Structure formats: C-alpha cells, structure tokens
Structure 1
C-alpha cells in the first residue's frame, strides 16, 4: 500500500474514532490517547496526519456539517413554497440535533487555541449552511441586497438554533422538548411575516 493511501486510511480511522468518542461522551471528554487506542495506532501517528487534536475535531465537525446540510436539504426539498421550505429547514435542523446531540453541540462548543484561526475551508462549510437559508429568503425578498440577505439568514438561524438548544436542553426558560417543533413553526413564520412587513414599510 502506498504511503499516501496509508496516511489517508489512518486519517479516516482517527476521524471515525474521534467521532464515535464525541458521540458517546461529548467533546469535553475527548482525549488524543483514547482516539489512537480506538484507531489502533500510536499517539505519534496521530500527529503525523493532524496538527493536533483541535485539527482532528475540525475534521469531525466538517463531516458533521456535511451530514447536517444533507439532512436539512432533504427536509426542505419538497416544500411547496419558500416559506414552507424555511419551516422545513428548521424542522430538519431540529431532527438532526435530536439524532446526533453530541456531534451537533461539538459544532458550537469547539474553539481553536488562542491565536490559531479556524481554517478558511471550514468557515466556508459553515457559510454553506447559511446559504441553504438564504436561498428561500431571497425568493421571498429578491429586493434584499446580498449583505442584508446574509444578515437575515444569520438572524433566522440564530433564532432557530436558540429554540432548539433551549428546548432540547430542557432549560426551565425553554419551550420544553415536546413543544420545540410547534415553536419553531411559530418563530419562523413570525420572522418571515416581520420581514415582509419591514420590506413594505421601507418601500
């Protein structure tokens, strides 16, 4: 087996091992030695293919984002209107968070060490998730400039994420796990209606 292929397979095993560890125990419990033990390699081997454990987590989060985007895309694919698509995207996001809670939380819990930037390719993956929201928003409001459109997409995502986080976390100030889906429908529709009213007033 060629060296390049061996490195690729080792990298894949380490990402898989880290994914399983995060899924089972959460990001805060992740340890390099546990990852290498599960992957069947030495601790030094990890640093031959990754810069450090933060680099491993970035690659795990990259795969999680790909999975999340796929789930969200499928949820909104058959929607009959942009409004219904945005609601469906929110529900798809909820379903993903319910099915992979630890991996979902890792997307927001992980922080790079001080002075170390997040790789641009990974930032682009996060931006791609926002673009899934921006597309139906643009269909509803083609008059919005790109900068305003992206800001609205971020705001809508933040609202949805907050409801999901507080609901699934069973915070006493949250809506409660059983009510999350209904509240998501309410808040997405309310924000869309508010945006429409704002556009009318500005016209």
Structure 2
C-alpha cells in the first residue's frame, strides 16, 4: 500500500500534469512556464522538481496523456468496417480530427525535444506504439504477402505519410495543405496508398 507521503506526491504530480496540460492547450509548448503551472496547481515552485524531476519530464507526462486519448480515438475508429480500405480511411479521418481539435497538445507531442544527452524513458516510447499497431490489422488485409517485419515497416511509412501532411498543414507551412482541404487531401492520399497496396499484392 502507498503511504500518505506517496499519495500526496502522486496527487501533486497529477495536479501539475493537469495544469501543464491546460497551459499547453491554451498557449502552446512555447508558452509553458513553471511558475504558472505551480501557481495553478497550488504548490511552491520547488515542489515541481520533487514531483516530476523537471519541466521536460512534466511535458512527457502531458504528452503521454495526449497519446492515451489519441490511441483511444484511433482504436475506436478502427472498429471492424466493411473493408480494410474503409478502416484505413476511418483511421486517417480520426487522426486528422484529433490533431485539429487538439492542435497545441498534438503539436507538443511531436515537437518537444529533451536536452541533448537525455534519453526518452521507455514508458513514453511504449505509449507511442498504438500509433503504429492500430494500422497493422487493416494493412495486413491489404498486404497478406508481407511478413511481420515488413508489415511493421510499411505501417510506419503509412503513418509518416499521413502525419507529414497533417503536420505541415497545422504548422501553416507554405507547402502545406490549406486546413479547409486537409481532410479531403488526406483521404485522397490514403486512397492512393490502399490502391497501391492492392496493385502490389497482385
């Protein structure tokens, strides 16, 4: 059982993560300030470093929350559809929708970097797995000829293609797709990839 001290530390950590999540959602990663977070969480500045090590680690916890929510969204979208093509389209649409509706948190998830020399904790790496794992079942239907290693690699490539289009659009890059065309263009991209998979299989 947790003792009272551990419970208080866990409660403080949760309050700090929730406060940081709200700050990022409102201001973005660049607007995140330790003093604002601790003020909202109702604790002293030094308490942050006792509860979560530092601000970078706090961001990782926020990003893990975002990944959990995104994972649930994708798993729900991946519920059995008529065809693998439909599932891939549903996954892509859900990904675009989540990114647009949680723009600053989504950007923080992929833009945050730890200082040079620091390794991303294994628990945070594992939280990313769902982004690839959810693509594998419909992709396996499209490409039953691929072995496990090739299938995982192709799932990573598929994710990267969709993610890249979404990222450029949400960052407002001049080469990016206008936001009002993003859903349609991602759908067209996925259609091209699924058709290509079917041709490659024959």
| Residue 35 of structure 1: how far off its partner (Å) | 1.0
**Equivalences for residues 1-203 of structure 1 within 5 A:** 2-200=4-202
In 1, Cα distance between equivalents of 2:137 and 2:9: 38
Q: Which runs of no fewer than 5 residues in structure 1 stay unpaired?
A: none
2-structure distance, mates of 1:7, 1:180: 43
Aligned residues: 200
Alpha-carbon displacement from aligned partner over 1:85-141 (angstroms, at most 9, x marks no partner): 011000000110111100000111111111111011111111222100112111222
CA deviation after TM superposition for structure 1 residue 45, in Å: 0.9
Gaps of 5+ in 2: none
CA contact 2:78–2:134 (8 Å) conserved in 1: no
**What secondary structure, in the 3-state scheme, does the structure 2 residue paired with 1:167 have?**
helix
How far the C-alpha of 1:174 sits from its partner, in A, is 2.3
SS in 2 for 1:6: helix
Q: SS state of the match for residue 175, structure 2?
A: coil
Mapped to 1, the partners of 2:49 and 2:171 lie a distance apart of 35
Q: Under a length normalisation based on structure 1, what TM-score does the superposition of the two structures give?
A: 0.93
RMSD: 1.5
Determine if contact 2:21/2:105 at 8 Å carries over to the other structure. yes
- CA contact 2:131–2:159 (8 Å) conserved in 1: no
